[in-house]
Amino acid sequence: MSVDLSQFIPSFLEESFEGLELMESSLLDLEQGDDETINSIFRAAHSIKGGAGTFGFNSVTEFTHLVETLLDEMRDGRRKIAQDDVELLLDSVDCMRLLIESIRDEIECDTSKIIETSALLEKTLAADGVEVSEAITINSSDTVESKTDDTSTWQISFIPEHHLVQTGNDPLLLFNALADLGEVTLVACAKKLPALNELDAEEIHLSWNITLQSSANEDEIKEVFEWVEDECELIITKEALSNGDLSIAELLTEPPSLEESDPILSTATSKIDNPAKPTEKSTEKSSSKAKNDLGSIRVGVDKVDSLINLVGELVITQSMLSELGNDFDLSKVERLNSGLEQLLQNTKELQESVMRIRMLPISFAFNRFPRLVHDLSKKTGKDIELILKGEQTELDKTVMEQIGDPLVHLVRNAVDHGIESAEVRLANGKPKKGTIMLDAYHQGGSIIIEIKDDGGGIDREAVFNKALEKGLVDENTVLTDAQTFDLLFEPGFSTAKEVSDISGRGVGMDVVKKNIQSLGGRIQVISEPGKGSTFRVNLPLTLAILDGQLVQVGTETYIIPLITIVESLQPQKELINRVSGDMVLYRLREDNVPVIPIYQLFNIPSEFDNIEKSLLVVVEADGQKIGLMVDDLLAQQQVVIKSLNDNYQQVDGISGATILGDGSVAMILDVPGIITMALAQAQLNQKNRSTIKPKITQSISEGVNS
């Protein structure tokens, strides 16, 4: 029976990456005498090795065998847990990840680090007199064997459970692995095979008696079956038996005579000579399928049960409405309205349940940072403690996947620029050990992620002087703290006195802001000299659904994300001012808010071309407020976001579109994009008039700061 193993490769890859994360986090927390932790690390490595062996990924199997050997010595107490060994195991985890990623992406990985780490593992094991395999060859199908001069005969009884193949295991692969150890003779027992009409193609009803001529020892033979040891009965005995005697395996399975067997399914004897060994090349087709896999989400049974219940409610409501449709008359209007309300409620609950399925704990994104901070601490010579909070705060899977890289930039920046050296900290009366905290929590319809450090804070004057040097501001410009710190995200901006391979090149912070904005979020910087800094990232919970305010402009309906709205108001004439030509400012308490007429921005005819007759929706993004001039405010509602890139093309000032209840299409306004457009237009107007120097934020900041 042949089973297509390629269908199980995505699961193997996913579980392997989870196992690597467990190994990494556990190694960072490993302490002397921590038996449970070292056992969990060993089990993770053991599972990865077994899975790789099943699919024929020999480079993973061979490398992980060395890792497993070192871990086995630690858990058995033969080796004390030393920091050098922990560092070596962390490097080994990196190598295992490289190998598995190369399988996932169907690429050749850089073997230099893997070969170097393999040599270190072998040297470490050999230093204590432990026999290790010969140096492994990456991407080779040769297995790791310990050779002796003696060749023995082994009798093996292998009785698999019926469901063995359903877990992705194939006996043929096990037999091929045995053939790597020596000459194999198989005897299949079909006594328990059911009648043909009762045969289940996804179950195994055969068992095997195996004779192995090999110099391998019993542990090496058991290792072949380790991945299925809980799903079979396995008996291994040494020495060839005399003629006429039955092996223990034969006594247990009692092979039937040919007369008792179906002629077609009679007991067969086969000899495996130089079998085709499963290698990475033999799984090329399988890897291709794994590569094209779009990922998966593990969903709790409670969430699935909730969906099933809601679908049941929908079916009941649909049946009720269908019945009302038969011979409908006015006397059924009240029941019809009730049914429609119930349908609306069911649909809303179904929508929320489906969205909850996509929500994952942010710990999936946070798990990479203990290792990152550990490595950066070693590189910089700083003693840093990482604190994680809010790890169970849930976030949409798509958002989480895209926020990972920006968070890495911010954490690296905190280590390199935020935390001072031990000498400086002690001189300033601080503890020698610095602290970086990652915190996540919900706030309204958003998630807030904070990266805090207790370092020296940001030098506001240094930031301003650097901006002055680059021509971003002039010496008369007055900026708030928020506006000053926002300059850190300008392309190529850096106040670092020395360039390191960690940060300081002025590359990355502008990309951080751009990536966060692409997710519909924003970033804010808070810093106090001598106390530390906080980078606060505000993100929507999901990219699929948006809470929006519908507004009318001429004959068009637009949607403004509620997360950006500060307030809506009817403008008062005495608070309206015109500066810099066409720029209109509205005095909102302590702020002068620039006014952007939407009808002008998108060239739409509107009868409300006077700010005094229109409505003003004050929005905020990137620390700047603007007023969007609209004709009327409509309803607030959740809308499903449709990408313009997928269906048309990118439009400045528009982040997406949605379909309203009446079937019409409404555009979703991109508030940060509109602010950028307004800045560009203000600069152009100033340049054309040649009355004011074209500095960034000159027009809008003039109003904001006055």
Active site residues: 46, 68, 413
Which is nearest to 12 in space by CA: 94, 98, 92, 100?
100
Helix 111-126 with 83-105: angle, nearest 10 deg: 140
Which is nearest to 519 in space by CA: 409, 408, 402?
402
How far is it, in rounded angstroms, from Cα 96 to Cα 62? 10
Label residue 74 exposed, middle or buried (CB < 10 Å: 0-12, 13-18, 19+).
buried
351, amino acid identity: Q
Q: Which residue has the tokens 């409501």?
A: 317
Instruction: Tell me phi and psi for residue 582, to 5 degrees.
Output: -90, -5
Which is nearest to 626 in space by CA: 593, 602, 671?
593
- Strands of 193-287, DSSP E: 207-214, 232-238, 269-272
Label residue 378 exposed, middle or buried (CB < 10 Å: 0-12, 13-18, 19+).
exposed
3-state secondary structure of 490: coil
- Sheet with 665-669, edge to edge strand ranges: 632-640, 545-553, 556-561, 665-669, 654-659
How far is it, in rounded angstroms, from Cα 169 to Cα 164? 6
The one-character DSSP state at 347 is H
The one-character DSSP state at 247 is P
How far is it, in rounded angstroms, from Cα 138 to Cα 109? 10
How far is it, in rounded angstroms, from Cα 608 to Cα 140? 74
Cβ atoms of 527 and 487 closer than 8 Å: no
Instruction: Tell me phi and psi for residue 391, to 5 degrees.
Output: -65, -20
Token code pair at residue 133: 């395999």
How far is it, in rounded angstroms, from Cα 360 to Cα 298? 9
Q: Which residue has the tokens 């990408």?
A: 643
How far is it, in rounded angstroms, from Cα 671 to Cα 619? 7
**Secondary-structure breakdown of the chain: helix, strand, coil percentages, each rounded to the nearest 5:** 45, 20, 30
Instruction: Give me the DSSP letters along 122-157.
Output: HHHHHTTT---PPPP-TT--PPP----S--EEEEEE
- Strands of 266-399, DSSP E: 269-272, 359-361, 384-389, 394-396
Which is nearest to 521 in space by CA: 506, 540, 534?
540
How far is it, in rounded angstroms, from Cα 89 to Cα 105? 24
Q: Which residue has the tokens 């002397």?
A: 32
Exposure class string for 423-450: b at 16+ Cβ within 10 A, else e: eebeeeebeeebbbbbbbeeeeebbbbb
Helix H or strand E segment including 538 = strand 532-540
Which is nearest to 226 in space by CA: 386, 91, 61?
61
